[in-house]
Structure 1
Amino acid sequence: MSIAFFDSGIGGLTVLQEAMRRLPGENFLYFADTLHVPYGTKTLNEVKRYVQQSAELIMKEQVDALVVACNTGTSAAIEELRNTYSHIPVIGMEPAVKPAVRRSHEAGRRVLVFATSLTLSLTKYHDLVDRVDDHKVVDSMPLPELVQYCEQLMFDPQEIEAYFRGKLAGINLDSYGTIVLGCTHFPYYKNILHHLLPPHIELIDGTGGTVDRLCDMLDLPKVPRAAESSVNTSSQTSVPPITFMCSDGNPAYLDKMAQALKYLQSLHA
């Protein structure tokens, strides 16, 4: 079975990595819209157009499912994609606000959502928060620069910690129990955030839930999520086949995607 993953850049590799670990018998295609990255600073209509154009290119590869591994792309265009490609499962992402709110009730603390500016401005996000945030505990913070850092493979702990410290200056972190990583680029920085944040703060994202949904839609067995399993991606004896594609056809970016995936795997080694 051929499963396609799509993002504006390398962020969606965080979702692909989890799918590789849990579905080692499948074939994977990863498409990055390098002509238009990042999406988070674009207009809604622009993102809709870019997503549709990218999906047209992906569908030429005869895939069996499409995962929009991009919170901004999902918010902007998932319904149009599902209507256009109703013959296959089209799985989107949303910030993991619902589980974060549930955990906040248990811990008695607030929730902070990190995402792109566009995601946080869209009706889909506000509807999600309104639906689950009965006690008004959710706050939001745009981190558009973090996508650019990730696209530049900027993972130096000192530089990134300085960026986070600047963004979080003046915020009482003791009042927060959960931070939601609402962009697929952001899990690249989980280890740095764990080192920086107070130990009581939990980081969550939508990666595991998205792969759960993919398994359900394709009627595939669910291997436990990474946090629930002692098996690392790096320890697997076989690596599922991956085809990398990008909208500008730049070979250097194809190499960057391979480097980024290798970096992600090293975080779980």
Structure 2
Amino acid sequence: MSIVVFDSGLGGVTVLHKALQVLPYEQYIYFADDGHVPYGTKTKEEVRSCILASMEATITDETRALVVACNTATSIAIGDLRKRYGFPVIGMEPAVKPAVELSRSTGRRVLVLATALTLREAKYHDLVNRLGDSGRIDSLPMPGLVTLAEELVFTGPRVQAYLDETLGGYDWTKYGTIVLGCTHFQFFRTALAAFLPPHVELIDGSAGTVRRLQELIGSGEAVADSPGSIEFRHSGSDAGYPDKMRHALDWYRRDRSGQTHD
């Protein structure tokens, strides 16, 4: 029985990394819809069609759970997927609630970074409105980070130039928290931490998503006597894309452990 982790491209690797930490003995299928990445610049109808087609080709009777490791895909298709499949379907949601709770204690603002499509969706606006603090929440699309991540460019001059261009004009004394509302953005935690003043915290939804997965399928102890595995699949024509997924996972694993990169 396999857990399918789905994303438009490499971003969901960051969620897979967290799942491997918490549930290391499971069998994972990571599916990247790289043939249609990026989702954030497409219409809602185009994205929904891509997601449903990708899952139709991936889901089998051996699927134990589906993790939609993409905020944009969650906002558009999570309802359709839950109606279609009888096993647990777990989505991503920008971690606005914990960010707002932090902001209430500090008095500073929250900046949500996500794709343009996520920020346009009613699901995001409903989330913000439910919290009752919409006046202290700002939003910013950063599609360039998706492009850089898909090119495996996580640090260096191009990343620095893009951060300067998009974030350089903010008065950071007014902000206390940044929400990484796209899984691709998590690759840039180190770069963002170096760019921002120390008081600005970075928050994402990966831990909450994996915690929910664990609640729904159990701790994984029943399969602890067998090794876990990862199978990489994708929709595009680039035969080298599975190697990119493996490289991205290895890079992120080392980055989060504080190891240096070659």
Please give the range of the TM-score, normalised by the shorter of the 2 chains. over 0.9
Please give the secondary structure, in 2, of the residue aligned with 1:136: helix
| 1:262 and 2:250 are equivalent in the alignment | yes
Equivalent residues, number: 253
Aligned to 1:136: 135
Shift of 1:249: 5.3
Aligned to 2:40: 40
Aligned to 2:63: 63
| Contact 2:25-2:220 at 8 Å conserved across structures | no
TM-score, length-scaled by structure 1: 0.90
| Contact 1:101-1:133 at 8 Å conserved across structures | no
Alignment of 1:91-240 (within 5 A): 91-134=90-133, 136-220=135-219, 240=228
Shift of 1:109: 0.4
- AA in 1 matched with 2:206: T
- AA in 2 matched with 1:103: L
| Contact 1:20-1:239 at 8 Å conserved across structures | no
Aligned to 2:18: 18
Q: Counterparts of 1:240 and 1:205 in 2: how far apart (Å)?
A: 25
Aligned to 1:29: 29
Q: Counterparts of 1:135 and 1:90 in 2: how far apart (Å)?
A: 28
Shift of 1:60: 3.1
Please give the secondary structure, in 2, of the residue aligned with 1:42: coil
Aligned to 1:234: none
Please give the secondary structure, in 2, of the residue aligned with 1:265: helix
| Contact 1:82-1:90 at 8 Å conserved across structures | yes
Shift of 1:59: 0.6
- Coordinate RMSD, CA, aligned: 1.6
Q: Counterparts of 1:266 and 1:70 in 2: how far apart (Å)?
A: 22
| Contact 2:177-2:202 at 8 Å conserved across structures | yes
- CA offsets 1:39-67 (integer angstroms, 9 cap, x no match): 00000011111110111112137210000
Range with bigger deviation, 117-126 or 129-138:
129-138
TM-score, length-scaled by structure 2: 0.93
Please give the secondary structure, in 1, of the residue aligned with 2:135: coil
| Contact 2:75-2:123 at 8 Å conserved across structures | yes
Identity rate, percent: 51
- Unaligned segments of structure 2, at least 5 residues: none
Please give the secondary structure, in 2, of the residue aligned with 1:34: coil
- CA offsets 1:194-230 (integer angstroms, 9 cap, x no match): 11100000000000000001011113269xxxxxxxx
Question: Compared with structure 1, are the counterparts of its residues 132 and 242 closer, same or farther at alpha carbon in structure 2 (3 Å cutoff)?
Answer: same
Shift of 1:123: 0.6
